[in-house]
Amino acid sequence: MLNQYLVLSAILFTIGTAGVFVRRNLITILLSIEIMLNAVNLTFVAFGRALGSADGQIIVFFVMTVAAAEAAVGLAIVITLFRHKESLNPDSFTLLKW
Amino acid sequence: MTETTLFYAFGAVAVVASLLVIAQRNPVYSVLLLIGSFGALSGLYVLLDAPFVAVIQIIVYAGAIMVLFLFVVMLLNAPHEDTEYDEHVHPLLRPGPMRFGAVLAIAFGVELVWALTRHIESGPFAGGAVSSVASIGTLLFTDYAFAFEVTSILILVAMMGAVVLARRD
């Protein structure tokens, strides 16, 4: 059963990665990052179940905390960027590019 | 048997919802579909004997983080992605080469699946799952007490950072 969970997790992680590449919208890119974090969480819980240990679930707890912090700061940055450029397209934020 | 059926049902819902998340141009639909995907993942956590994770997946992820996303999407009132590309956009940033990135991501996924399925025997899970919330709480406040306290500082810093960044100057 572990294999199936790992493959599902890999599929979800790939969907998240593809989302970062394909979408041109900062909010959808942040959502894709959430998909990737959830794929990794599934791996942790599946391995914790296979090894009979609670450590996997505890790491998931910490990953969720980091995801919450990342979402809060990331969305604050998105709001500030939108205020400056009136756009959510990442190609329009080139101030730090040489 | 029932467990396998449920696994495939929840897995299919999670994959289809995630695919639709990145196929939508309207971020409001993306957020709502992602909530569905997280609900399916929560069902998978129940199948894995992890009720604590399943519940905080719903409460924290679907309840708090996704509502925060939805709130920002509606606040910004810019739901649709720009589809037209200017002439002065760098050639590597046009839609064609961007699709190449998606192809790379799929190659990465195939590689992951290949590596993950090679050496692990895939029988049913052994017994002895640690699933009670009490045991997780005990572990969290003994072995992981330091990390748990640092987490509170992380949340505090993130909160202050969000307030400072989003404030109107």
Identify the CATH number of the domain in which residue A76 sits: 1.10.287.3510
The string of DSSP letters for B20-56 reads: HHHH-SSHHHHHHHHHHHHHHHHHHHHHTT-HHHHHH
Q: Does B1 fall in a domain?
A: yes
Report residue A38 CA to chain centroid gap.
7
Domain that holds residue A87: 2-92
B3 and B75 part of one domain: yes
Q: Does the CB of A33 have a partner CB in chain B at under 8 Å?
A: no
Closest partner residue to A73 (CB to CB) among B19, B30, B161 is: B161
Q: Does the CB of B136 have a partner CB in chain A at under 8 Å?
A: yes
* Residues above pLDDT 70, as percent of chain A: 99
Q: What is chain A's alpha carbon radius of gyration, rounded to the nearest angstrom?
A: 17
Question: What value does the mean pLDDT take over residues A16-25?
Answer: 87
Which pLDDT value is given to residue A73? 93
Q: How many structural domains compose chain B?
A: 2
* Confidence class for position B79, pLDDT limits 50, 70, 90: low
ipTM for the complex? Answer: 0.90
Four-point Cα dihedral A9, A12, A13, A19, nearest 10: 180
A89 contacts A24 by C-beta, under 8 angstroms: yes
Taking only residues 42 to 101 of chain B, the set having a beta carbon closer than 8 angstroms to any beta carbon of chain A reads 44-45, 48-50, 52-53, 56-57, 60-61, 64-65, 68-69, 72-73, 75-76, 78, 81-82, 89, 93, 98-99, 101
pLDDT digits (tens, 9 = 90+) for B116-157: 777 666 667 776 666 788 888 898 999 999 999 999 999 999
Distances (CA, A) of A83 to A12, A79, B76, B77: 32, 6, 9, 12
Q: Does B157 fall in a domain?
A: yes
Which pLDDT value is given to residue A98? 66
Domain that holds residue B160: 132-169
The string of DSSP letters for B88-117 reads: TS-GGGSHHHHHHHHHHHHHHHHHHHHHHT
Q: Does B26 fall in a domain?
A: yes
Question: What value does the mean pLDDT take over residues B70-81?
Answer: 79
* pTM of the entire predicted model: 0.88
Q: Does A21 fall in a domain?
A: yes
- Contact B22/A30, CB-based, under 8 Å? no
pLDDT digits (tens, 9 = 90+) for B105-120: 888 888 888 887 776 6
Q: How many structural domains compose chain A?
A: 1
Q: Does A97 fall in a domain?
A: no
Q: Does A42 fall in a domain?
A: yes
Q: Does A98 fall in a domain?
A: no
Per CB-CB distance under 8 Å, the chain A contacts of B96 are none
Q: Does the CB of A90 have a partner CB in chain B at under 8 Å?
A: no
Per CB-CB distance under 8 Å, the chain A contacts of B162 are 72-73, 75-76
Which pLDDT value is given to residue B33? 93
Q: Does A55 fall in a domain?
A: yes
Taking CA atoms, what residue in B is nearest to A19? B22
pLDDT digits (tens, 9 = 90+) for B23-66: 888 888 999 999 999 999 999 999 998 899 999 999 998 889 99
- Please tell me the distance in Å from A91's CA to the nearest CA on chain B: 8
Q: What is the number of helices (H) and of strands (E) in chain B?
A: 7, 0
| Contacts A–B by Cβ distance under 8 A | 228
Question: What value does the mean pLDDT take over residues B66-89?
Answer: 73
- Looking at A1-98, list the stretches that DSSP marks H as alpha helix, in order from N- to C-terminal side: 2-22, 26-51, 55-85
Q: How many CB atoms lie within 10 A of CB B102?
A: 17
Q: Does A12 fall in a domain?
A: yes
Looking at per-residue confidence, does A7 or B80 come out higher? A7
Is the predicted pLDDT of residue A78 greater than 80, yes or no?
Answer: yes
Q: Does B4 fall in a domain?
A: yes
- Contact B11/A8, CB-based, under 8 Å? yes
Is the predicted pLDDT of residue B93 greater than 80, yes or no?
Answer: no
- Please tell me the distance in Å from A90's CA to the nearest CA on chain B: 10
